Amino acid sequence: MNKHDSGDPWEYWGLWSKKDIERVSHLLTSLDVRFSYSEIERSEEMLRDWCAWDSTALIPTIGYDLWIHEDDCSKIGYQIIEMFPERTFGYKK
């Protein structure tokens, strides 16, 4: 069972590549944010749609679903959005 299945309020923050989930994890840890991510195999098309395709990865079809606890979202502000301006975070460009 993932943390987001526990009944606590978790928000989905998208699909990430390995190198990007490492950057995001570092930021969230530094902000003392509760988060979890799970490895998941996805199609190249889906990973590209989420800006999570990394052709240099050992297994390029592996992505990471990111979940952040609702109570900690205010700690983040716009830092993730500023770190990854190429991502739309649910909004079409």
Rounded to whole angstroms, the Cα distance separating 90 from 55 reads: 23
Rounded to whole angstroms, the Cα distance separating 20 from 60 reads: 13
pLDDT tens digits for range 31-86: 999 999 999 999 999 999 999 999 999 999 999 999 999 999 999 988 998 898 88
* Residue 84 near residue 50, CB atoms below 8 Å: no
Its CATH architecture, for the domain 3-83, is Roll (3.10)
> Taking the model in full, what pTM does it have?
0.84
Domain boundaries, given as residue ranges, for the chain: 3-83
